[in-house]
Each structure stands twice: as structure tokens, then as C-alpha cells.
Structure 1
Amino acid sequence: MANGTLFLLVGLLLGVSVFGSKMSGRFGFPALLIFLGVGMLAGSDGLGGISFDDPHLAQRVGSFSLVFILFAGALDTRWKEVRPVLGPGVLLATLGVFLTALLVGGFAFLFLGFAPLEGLLLGAIVSSTDAAAVFSVLRSRGVGLRGGLKPLLELESGSNDPMAAFLTAALVSLLGAETLSWPRFALWALGQMPLGALAGFLLGRAALVILNRVRLDHEGLYPVLTSSLALVTFGAAESLGGNGFLGVYVMGLVLGNGRFLHERSLTRFHDGLGWLMQIVMFLILGLLVFPSRLPAVAPQGLLLTGFLLFVARPAAVFACLVRGAWGFREKVLLSWAGLRGAVPIVLATFPFTAGHPRSDLIFHLVFFVVLLSVFLQGSTLMPLARRLGLDEPSEPRPRYPLELDRTGHSSDETREIEVVPGSRAEGRRVAELGLPREVLILLVRRGESFLVPRGDTALRAGDALLVLADPAVLDRVEEGLTEAEEDPPT
């Protein structure tokens, strides 16, 4: 293929995927279906006729993409939101994944004709959920979830991929090993998660120091630096015998909840890079699959999907949340919100690279399960949340016409402070707030409008102030403005 044709084709595939994602919002299913569909149409069985049958390359591209997808998701995860649900989230991401893999493996052995270890491998591959798939459905309809459901789903889906990858790699090793040293295997297995988490934490702390102390001459080099830190974290964790995916997620979580230079611009960059990696990964996986082989696995795929959706996932959720404040309705919704996504398809390439004789069957079976899961759960999740009374209007994050980012020349940052009903700020003019001289109110958001504040601007309950100051000063100002007013102004 000539260079011009190749560049034209890649550009068209990316463009069609981006514009096709708008259809997902209109019809209420995740964008990944569009990306996979474009890849399948462009493949050897589709209209494009592109011949691609290299699972080794697909696995490398998938693993490379997952590093940046996990890093982008962790970088934008707020610790104060996930901290209240940390316990159940970690349980679902570890024990929940293990129980799902065990139950699906037993079902595959008893009813689908798989050998015991093969069945467990299939269960491990489909055991993780996809956060992007869940929240693309919610955002498309402007609907959120009540209480701690959203952060719990976000934490579980963002952190359960490492456990699924670990189980898959372990079972592939077991299937391919003619002789196996069980003590050595147990030592490797027990060290995967702790070493990965430790490497991610230490490199996350180091990344904060590097970003705040290194003064680069060009701002455009900072995204290159953070990308290199994500890749180094994955490589270091894997080299030490840990789980690289968990290492990257922990590193992004530590970095995203600290303060560093160019924080906003870097977060936006990695959000865009994460989307690019998702599209590239889905296109490659769509090219790898042969749609003509899907009907042959449809009977097994229907049985496996039904068991996964109606038995394995609910059993894992109810077992992990047997204690705590989660009611029956919340557990039902959490069970149905476990959409499968890109990670199971990437993990399904592992048997290919290991030379497993039934790797083609496993890959196409997993692909069928993911497609059916996304279609069924994606199209019915919101009606179920509404029927259970667990939905609520989603308030989009406001976009200010003025936005400042931290640089090396100043430690000041911006923060949104809401005027709470009954607080000291309600009903007062800006000049009457008694703010320190180093504090500047940049804008006042009132509903969907923005006001340039003046000394005589009267504040109302529900207003949001965009305030610029040093972080320590901002903490004191926020505490003073939101405290209850004993003698309201007349």
C-alpha cells in the first residue's frame, strides 16, 4: 500500500470514528460499538477489504493503548470522591473479578465443552468491566446516578483491569507450561499486585517532584514528559515482577490528586490522547476479527453472555457488597452496569501469542460476548436506573470563558467556591466580604451566565465564585465564605 493511500485510509477511519461517536449519544449506546464497527467494516470480511491477521501486533498496540487509557482515567479521578467507596470498590475490582472468572470458568467447563483451565482462562478474560462504556451511556442522556454509585462504578471499572490481566497471564502460563514450579509460580502471583501498586505509588510521588521542579523551555514538552513517565512506570513495574497496568493506574491517581505545573492543560492532553488510543485500539481489534466466524460461535456466545450477565456478575456483586449500606436496588443496578469493553478483547489476544490451539475460538467468542453485552446493557441501563429510582439529572461541569493554569512563575491557582444558602457570603456585596488583598474574584457564575464582579455586585445563594489565590489562602477563604451567618445582612 502506497504511503499516500495509507495516510488517507488512517485519516478517514479516525474521522469516521469521531463523527460516528455522535450517533452513540443520539441512540444511547457506547461509542466503542461505532469504533469496533468501523474496524470490522474496513477489515478483510468488510467493505474495506483490509487484510490484517497479526494478533501479536494487536496485543502490543492494545497494551500500549491501555497504558494511556488507564493513566488518563486515573489522572482525572478525584480522591475525595472515591475515598468513601474505596473498600467496596477494591473488593469488586479484586475479589469480584476473581469470583466472576471462577463462575464463568465453571460454566464453560460444565456446559460449553472447555477444559477446566481453558474455562478459567475464558472467565478471566471476560471478568473486567469498562468505565468508558458505562459513562458514555450516562452522559449521552444527561443522566447521573444517586449517592455513591457513580464513584463506585468509576473506581471499580478503572481498577479491575489489572486483576483481569494478571489472571489471564497466569492461566496462559499454566496452560503453556509443560513443567511448572508451583512455589515459583505462587511467589510470582503473590508479588504481582503489591509490587505494581508500590511501583506506581513511588513513581507517582517522583512524578510530582519532577513536574514541579524541572523547568522546561517549551510548554509543549510537558505532555511528552508525562507520557514518558507513564511508560516508564509500566515498564518498571513489569521489570520488577509487578503488574504494570496497576502501576500506571496508581501513578496516575497519585499524580492527579497532587498539585503540579500545567495541571489543566496536561489533563486535557491526556484525555484527548486516551480517546485517540481507544479509537486506535478498537479499530485494530475490529480489523483482527472475522465477522463471518461470529455466527459459528453465536450459540455458545448467547449462553455465555446470559450466564455472565444474569448469574456471574450479580453473584460477584452481591457477595462483595454483603456488608455495608448498599441496598437491593443499588446491587441490582451495579450488577447490570458491568458492561464489557476493550480490555476483554485485548486479553483475548494473549492465547494467540502463546500459541494456544483454541485461541481463535476464544477470541471470537469473547468478541461476541462484548458486542452483545454492550448492546443489551448499554441500551437498557438508563431505563433500569429510572425504574429503580436511582437516576438523577447530571450536572455538566461548567466551562468558564476564563481559565488559568499553574506555571512555574506563580503558585496561585483558581478554585470555584459556591455561595451556600445561609452562609456569610449570601446577600452581601463583593466589597463587604472582607477578602485579603491577595485574593481576586475573577468571575461570578449565576446559572448559565457569567458576571464580571464589581464592588457593588450582590451575591445570591447558588452563585459560584471563580477565585484566584495561593492554595493555602484559598482554603481559609473558602472556609470563611461557606460558614453559616449568625447575623444576616439586612
Structure 2
Amino acid sequence: MNTELGLQLTTELVMFGMAALIALGILLHQPSKTLGVPSLLIFIGIGLLFGNGEFNFVYDNLTLTSLIGTMALNVIVFVGGLNTSKKSIAVAYKEGGILSTLGVLFTTVIFGGMLYFIVDFDLLTCLLFAAVVSSTDAAAVFSILESKKLKLKENTDTVLEFESATNDPVALLLVAILTEMILSTGATKNAADIGLELAQQILVGGLIGYLGGLMCIRLLNRIKLEEFGLIPIFILACFVMSAYGSELLGGNILIASYIAGVMIGNELKRGKVVSRHFFNSLSWLAQALMFVILGLQFFPAALVGDMLVAILPALLLMFIARPLAIFLSYLPFRKASLQKRLFISAIGLKGATPIVFALIPAAAGVPGAQTMMHMVFFIVLISVFVQGWAIDPLAKKLNLNQS
């Protein structure tokens, strides 16, 4: 009886505590926005403050953190798809598609090669590290562009948004493959195997996402639910079936989530307003939960020890690896101006996504993954402060702002 009561109280305390942390983060959101501090830092900071033992509470569960982070990321990507118009896709899919595939691969190879000479990891682990931080973060890009109300020439903002919304799947696949190779002693995968696996993940994920979104829209149009509040719930169920059905069939869950979101967001006729509010709120909840639990997972005393060693990799990523990868990716697009290339190469914003990706090898037991996770944390912080601050002045300096 006492055991059952103790379990019940523990569950209640956990639920109460998480709700209180999220509520506190939301209350701090507007003041942080006024001061120019990203909400990511507010929520992670709250997690760091309460989860490191200072209040007789210690949280340390890499597997659970990775699971929650991945689920939250799926929701964020789906909502990003819901809010993406077909018009913007038509404008940005060529450049954005190259950036979200070849750009990620180039960044991984270039940055991984640099890391090999400056950190105490073997080559595969360096490539894994590079893959973890190779993609830009959709939530960070969307929120900063929206908060600064930037509209840029040459559809630069649209390309950045499309890249950030679609480059996570390639990065996630590289992280999964490299983690598997490191843990499978002596096992290697050649370029053809990796290419086939990438093609399978993209094609299956895209197909399942398209069919799931199409099924959702056709059923909603045929049934015509009278209670508008049921429409977003039905969409949520279709999203979950599409995303996890894709993963069951060997497709990429993030691609399926994004494409299902694009299909539903562009074709939904009834209940569009209530659905938009519902899913924007759900995305905020997912971000808040993800950032708080990531903060809980880190211990300040352990983080500080890896702070200085993360500075040089962060600078190399921002000022050499990312620009080189972007300029290589833009070789087919000769009409793109130098100003546009410079801006996109400089704004490779990182957010919670690399931290979530870093949890995958850490939870799997890859040697050195804890140190990598701490370094990724500081790379994200440096990116948020430096690149997040630079967006507006750099756009003005390059004369990319629309008058």
C-alpha cells in the first residue's frame, strides 16, 4: 500500500513539476522576447536550475530524454509543414533542397575533417560529431525571422526556412548510420550502401507522408465534422499514423511528418483557423517540454569542464565549414548573388535539434558521447547568440532587406 502511494506521489510530483516549469518558461517568454533572449535559453535555463540537485531533485535519464526530444521534434517539423505554403516551396525547393541534402553532407565531411585535427576523437566519431551539428534548426530560424519581421530579397528568407525545415532528416540518418558503425566494431558501410539507405528513407518517408496527408484531407472533406474541435484531433491522429507508419516501413519519420504537414496545411478547407491555433500551441508545448527536459539532463558542473574546448569547433563551424559547404552547394545556381550566398552561409542557426541528435549516440553508449553532448550544448549557445544577433545587421550590411 505504501509502495503504491509512493509511486502515485512520485507521478503527481513529476507532472506538477513539469507543468510548473513549462508555465514559468511561458511567463518569461514575453520579457525574454523584449530583451532579445531566445525562448530556448529560458526553458533550458529553467531545466538547468531545477534539475542539478540544488532543490533535492536530480534527473538523469538519457533514454527518456532522447525519446521525448525526438517526439517533440516530430511535432515541431509537422507544424512547420502545416505552416509552409506550396507557393514558398515552389520558390525555394531547388536551392533549399540542395542545401538540405548536399549542404548537410558537405558540412559533415568538412567539419568532421577539421575536428579530427583539434579534438581527441577518432575519424568516425569526428564525422558523427559533425553530423550532429550539420543541420540548421527550424524552430530557431522561424522564430528569429518572425520576431525581427525580416523579408529579404531574392527569396533568401524563404530558402533559409525551407532548408531549416527539411535538412534534419539527412542529418538524423547520418547520425544513426555513424552511431551504428562506431558501435559495430569492424563493420563499415560504403558510399553505395549509405546512398541506398538515404534514398529509401527519403522515398518511403515522402510517400507515406503524402498518402497520410491525402487520406486525412479526403476523409475530412467527405465526413465534414460538425464539431470543429474534432478536426485538429483527427489531424493529430493522422499525423501520428503517417510519421510512425513511415518509420515502421523503413522511411524517415521527419520527412513523413513534414510532407504530411504540407499536404494537410495547404488542402484543409474547414476548421483551418482552429487547427492552426491548436497546432501552433502544440508546437510551443513540444518546444517547451523539449527544452526543459534537455536542461534537466545537463549538469552545470560537468558542462563547465567542456566549455572552453567547444569554442574553437564552434568558430570553425560558423566561419569555415558552413560557408564552404554553402558555396559548394550553390555552384549550380550561378544567378544567386554573392550577397545571398554570404548571408545563407553565415546564418546556420543551431537550436535544440543538435542537442537531441547528440543524445542518440550518448544513449547508445558511444565512447566520448557525453563530452560531445556537452560541446554541442555550447556550440548551440554560441550559435544562438552570435548568429541569432547577426541576422538583422548582416541583412542590412548586405543590402538584402526589402524596402
What's 2:204 paired with? 195
Q: CA deviation at 1:325?
A: 2.5
More strand by share: 1
Distance in 2 (CA, whole Å) between partners of 1:125 and 1:114 is 15
Match of 1:82 among 89, 95, 102: 89
Corresponding letter in the other structure for 1:330 = K
Match of 2:41 among 16, 28, 33: 33
Tell me, which stretches of 5 or more residues in structure 1 are unaligned? 394-490
Distance in 1 (CA, whole Å) between partners of 2:13 and 2:204 is 45
Q: Which has the larger radius of gyration?
A: 1
Distance in 2 (CA, whole Å) between partners of 1:214 and 1:59 is 38
2:245 matches 1:245: no
Distance in 2 (CA, whole Å) between partners of 1:373 and 1:38 is 20
Pairing of 1:91-490 with structure 2 (within 5 A): 91-178=98-185, 180=187, 182=189, 185-186=193-194, 187-216=196-225, 218-322=227-331, 323-392=333-402
Q: CA deviation at 1:51?
A: 0.9
Distance in 2 (CA, whole Å) between partners of 1:320 and 1:215 is 45
Q: CA deviation at 1:182?
A: 4.5
Q: How has the CA–CA distance of structure 1 residues 306 and 178 changed in structure 2, closer, same or farther, with 3 Å as cutoff?
A: same
Distance in 1 (CA, whole Å) between partners of 2:157 and 2:337 is 15
Distance in 2 (CA, whole Å) between partners of 1:137 and 1:24 is 13
Select the structure with the greater relative contact order (CA < 8 A; seq sep ≥ 6): 2
2:28 matches 1:20: yes
Q: CA deviation at 1:99?
A: 0.7
Q: How has the CA–CA distance of structure 1 residues 370 and 253 changed in structure 2, closer, same or farther, with 3 Å as cutoff?
A: same
1:98-123 deviations in Å (ceiling 9; x for gaps): 11111111111122121011000000
1:137-191 deviations in Å (ceiling 9; x for gaps): 3333444323301111110000011111111011111111136485895443431
User: Which stretch of structure 1 is more off in the superposition, 133-142 or 181-190?
Assistant: 181-190
Q: CA deviation at 1:252?
A: 0.9
Corresponding letter in the other structure for 2:236 = S
Corresponding letter in the other structure for 2:29 = S
Distance in 2 (CA, whole Å) between partners of 1:189 and 1:212 is 34
Q: How has the CA–CA distance of structure 1 residues 255 and 390 changed in structure 2, closer, same or farther, with 3 Å as cutoff?
A: same
Percentage identity across aligned positions? 34
Distance in 2 (CA, whole Å) between partners of 1:17 and 1:85 is 34
Q: CA deviation at 1:374?
A: 0.6
User: Which stretch of structure 1 is more off in the superposition, 140-149 or 297-306?
Assistant: 140-149
* Contact 2:52/2:296 (<8 A) preserved: yes
* Contact 1:125/1:165 (<8 A) preserved: yes
RMSD: 2.0
Match of 1:42 among 37, 50, 72: 50
Corresponding letter in the other structure for 2:238 = L
Q: CA deviation at 1:38?
A: 1.4
SS at match of 2:151: strand
1:209-249 deviations in Å (ceiling 9; x for gaps): 12212344643322221111111111111111111111111
Distance in 2 (CA, whole Å) between partners of 1:383 and 1:294 is 31
Q: CA deviation at 1:380?
A: 2.2
Alignment TM-score, normalising by the size of structure 1: 0.76
Tell me, which stretches of 5 or more residues in structure 2 are unaligned? 1-8
* Contact 1:67/1:231 (<8 A) preserved: no
Distance in 1 (CA, whole Å) between partners of 2:188 and 2:152 is 47
SS at match of 2:316: helix
Q: CA deviation at 1:15?
A: 1.8
* Contact 1:29/1:137 (<8 A) preserved: no
Q: CA deviation at 1:125?
A: 0.3
What's 1:452 paired with? none
SS at match of 1:349: helix
* Contact 1:68/1:274 (<8 A) preserved: yes
SS at match of 2:366: coil
1:367-408 deviations in Å (ceiling 9; x for gaps): 111111111111222111122222247xxxxxxxxxxxxxxx
Q: How many residues align?
A: 392
Match of 1:53 among 45, 52, 60: 60
* Contact 1:29/1:379 (<8 A) preserved: no
